[in-house]
Amino acid sequence: MHAINFSIDDYFQRIDIAYVDGRGDADLTRIMRAQLHSVPFENLDVQAGKIVSMVPEDIVDKIVHRKRGGYCYEVNGLFSMALTALGFEFDIIGARPMFYPQRRPKTHVVLLVKSGAERWLCDTGFGSFGLRAPIGLHQLGQVIQQDNETFMLDKNERNEFVLKALVKGEWANQFGFDLQPMEWIDFSLANYYNSTHPDAVFVKQYLVMQQHAQGRTLLSGNHLKRIGLDGEVVTEVSPDQLDDVLWREFALRR
């Protein structure tokens, strides 16, 4: 994906790393982790009653120039622009969130990136137990430790790939996907649903998450969770505390 206002130098400055000019899996990991640690997952625009723009130039302006975050279409869209600028080959893939009680459509977007002879699942915008680094399709069935999180890529009875996370000692399905590439425009209806529908979780409550080296900080509704090596600390956030919490914990302003 391209945007006329995208600059790889500005992007690297936004995610706070020096220039990367390789296309190996170590380079891919470095870039993905840097973005995850710098760009928060957030739905402030949805909570403000706005429809999230999927126009590439709007994504660059919001995240790179205005130092905001975004939800999956925005942050993975930005990541795809960086991959394009660096010469990585990748496919845009639709993924089915699987932590809901009922079967859901493919409303999530992920990237399958080619590096060397392998293809790597990359995702910088999953607000639940999201990846902290790429996972290779060749690592199917392996237990993968990423910082304080544990993942496995499996297959289900429909022959879909399923990303699982170890949650309180049990494997929990996060999302499923196949290898069929999609186009950016294919996600426009899902984005509209997630921006506007009263049943969409992003419309119902604030969801803001920032990964860091040994955990993550999550605002879910009116609860702030700090999750790290020592466990989880939950604090209730009152309406008059919200702006202070957004700035102090996520460097965000409404």
Question: Tell me: the pLDDT tens digits for 9-27?
Answer: 999 999 999 989 889 999 9
The CATH number of residue 173's host domain is: 3.30.2140.20
- The domain in which residue 186 lies consists of 8-250
Q: Provide the β-strand partners of residue 150.
A: 145
Q: Is residue 1 part of a domain?
A: no
Which residues does the annotation mark as catalytic?
Answer: 72, 108, 123
Quick: pLDDT tens for 163-200.
999 999 999 999 999 999 999 999 999 999 999 999 99
Q: Is residue 2 part of a domain?
A: no
Q: Is residue 174 part of a domain?
A: yes
Q: Is residue 153 part of a domain?
A: yes
Identify the sign of the CA torsion 190, 221, 44, 7.
negative
The domain total for the chain is: 1
Helix H or strand E segment including 108: strand 108-115
Q: Is residue 39 part of a domain?
A: yes
Quick: pLDDT tens for 236-248.
999 999 999 999 9
Q: Is residue 3 part of a domain?
A: no
Helices (H), the chain: 8-15, 25-38, 44-47, 56-60, 72-86, 188-196, 201-204, 242-250
Q: Is residue 191 part of a domain?
A: yes
